[in-house]
Structure 1
């Protein structure tokens, strides 16, 4: 364009380097293993095809406890609230967007392609989505558009994306300050409760009343990490825990019924939610600073790709090891988890380690045009 000069966009202030909370990495992996236990032995459905019978028959006692593994998602959301507030502090909106996209998408795209290809193989009998739906899954918009999902766990990513967007618009865009973070937590808590009361589908989709307390609680715990004497932050955490345990019980408890796979005790649900909040709080307060082993960082790096691939590809491994090779169920389970962790290592090593920095740099190193004549962008 005539009369235009290319000028690199300033990078903006960089967030201060903070010591890595390795115990948080370990808790991430623990939450992922909880979800894997649920998917492998805590419910019926397609996993029964993999085992050849219901997991209740494979794990007569353990299956009742595996059924609580789905609460690993709520623990994930608390961790996510903590980490997103920490990583967004001091970042420009562009850097925040780049960090989220580069963190989520490379492993996600690889998992979509991998699961689609494996499910299309003749020896694999699981139902595959249509090519059109598989392509749309690459956008992470399959859930709101009502399209079949390639990855069963991607519904949690849709919740994460909505949280990232809300935090970006309300906090990162105007500039992260403690005041804005506190206001965001207060307004979202009240608005989520109103959305639940209204019954309006759009408001419930936007504000996620059933998951908001966990994200908000994690944000509050990051404020506690910054200042353990912050009474307002502790208030955010307590209110979030109270509302979070309510939603968890409301969503996951049911009256004893022999037709259900399992019966989850309301008391145990509350206990697990409480433990999730308490463990993140202990990490925030520095009580696990002694857990500074390097392998915990590796565990944290493997968690996300493991979470993406473990369910559907785990079924394939279970079918091959248990039904084809005749390995007992209690040996098949750790073998399957090990295989999925090995696959997660490959995804981290050959996809994330290479694509994540490239994508982040591509999203942050663009140029803008400052016009000197017409004022029009090229």
Structure 2
């Protein structure tokens, strides 16, 4: 089968294709990175690079799944589904942490009193647009990725509509090439300092030095830099029947070479993020799709509660390792137990009930596969 023969997609979006396993891999990768950072214990590969590996894998998963939601729902239903999936559990987590810190940390109480309007950016998941918001009010410590994700939810609707209107057979491949070139140009321009103007005024007003680390966190880690990861996930969905035919003997070596040498490729290309990591993660993604559904109960459970785990794990580590200075074996066990208990509680009390509650507000009208009718 040629790529040009792909005109129809698989009808199901059920998670029987190891998506939850991929989610488990992503959250564990991010958690290992934060564990290394906050505990001071070095973890090979995942210590320095696990954050990038896990976040970028999450972006690929989102690209694979969200295009399906955008094409199968009306615009209103799509927006409602995204809202009830993302915001309620995020708000509960964010506001809960904020209230605890206001009550227990006098210094933070003063910050809230002085800069509370900037907290609104965090509530809207737009914290990365405000320097004060991302530095002072990102209490979950992963807020920038939520802003990037939110922009993707909007962009994918526009792209799906364009794809339907233009009816170019390889539209998404073109978007992948274009978004990759945009990312490379954006990151190279950021190195020159020309894009500092986007945040320099905010930094000066806050009395904060605009360092290279801040430039990376605010400019390099933007939707422009990461858009092609989402598009790569969409391309995997679009061309899945063909990609499944790629031999595992090709996929495994490519994935291992690109991922195990993650830092070296990043240094050689002088790009962060960089396209080769997207290729390596895409190989892992395709391998998972080729496999029969894995029945590992623990992995699937971790994947199921991965969003709640993502929201709470870093804060638990900050409290245990940097505030309580508890880095013994008992401290590590405490981190694992508390993180899983909080994530499980959030998932069953907030996240899953709100997803089900949101379905009440969605229409029964479906759009088929045509994007114009869907959105």
Q: TM-score, normalised by structure 2?
A: 0.67
Tell me if structure 2 keeps the 8 A contact 1:22–1:293. no
2:318 aligned residue:
315
Residue correspondences, number: 306
Check if 1:216 corresponds to 2:216: no
2:176 to 178, 185, 194: 185
Tell me if structure 2 keeps the 8 A contact 1:223–1:230. no
Counting only pairs closer than 5 Å after superposition, residues 297-312 of structure 1 correspond to structure 2 as 297-312=300-315
Counting only pairs closer than 5 Å after superposition, residues 157-196 of structure 1 correspond to structure 2 as 157-172=146-161, 175=164, 180-196=171-187
Mind listing any 5+ residue stretches in structure 2 that lack a counterpart? Answer: 1-9, 199-218, 366-375
Q: Alignment RMSD, CA only?
A: 4.0
User: What is the Cα deviation at residue 279 of structure 1?
Assistant: 1.6
Cα pair distance change 1:251/1:161, threshold 3 Å = farther
1:12 aligned residue:
none
Larger radius of gyration: 1
Q: Distance in 2 between matches of 1:271 and 1:183?
A: 18
Tell me if structure 1 keeps the 8 A contact 2:176–2:228. no
Q: Distance in 2 between matches of 1:219 and 1:315?
A: 35
User: What is the Cα deviation at residue 83 of structure 1?
Assistant: 1.8
Check if 1:279 corresponds to 2:284: yes
Tell me if structure 2 keeps the 8 A contact 1:189–1:213. yes
2:243 aligned residue:
228
Q: Distance in 2 between matches of 1:164 and 1:272?
A: 22
Cα pair distance change 1:111/1:74, threshold 3 Å = same
Tell me if structure 2 keeps the 8 A contact 1:25–1:297. yes
Cα pair distance change 1:90/1:173, threshold 3 Å = farther
1:291 to 288, 294, 300: 294
Check if 1:68 corresponds to 2:71: no
Counting only pairs closer than 5 Å after superposition, residues 1-378 of structure 1 correspond to structure 2 as 16-21=11-16, 23-42=18-37, 47=38, 55-56=39-40, 59=41, 61-62=42-43, 65-71=46-52, 72-122=54-104, 127=108, 130=112, 131-148=116-133, 149-150=137-138, 151-172=140-161, 175=164, 180-196=171-187, 201=195, 208-228=223-243, 253=267, 275-284=280-289, 286-287=290-291, 289-293=292-296, 295-318=298-321, 323=326, 329-362=328-361, 364=363
Q: TM-score, normalised by structure 1?
A: 0.67
User: What is the Cα deviation at residue 181 of structure 1?
Assistant: 3.7
Provide Cα deviations, 1:266-320, integer angstroms capped at 9, x if missing partner.
9xx9997655222211123x22x24045554432221001111111233223468
Deviates more, 1:66-75 or 1:218-227: 218-227
Q: Distance in 2 between matches of 1:206 and 1:37?
A: 20
Q: Distance in 1 between matches of 2:173 and 2:44?
A: 41
Higher helix share: 2
User: What is the Cα deviation at residue 347 of structure 1?
Assistant: 0.4
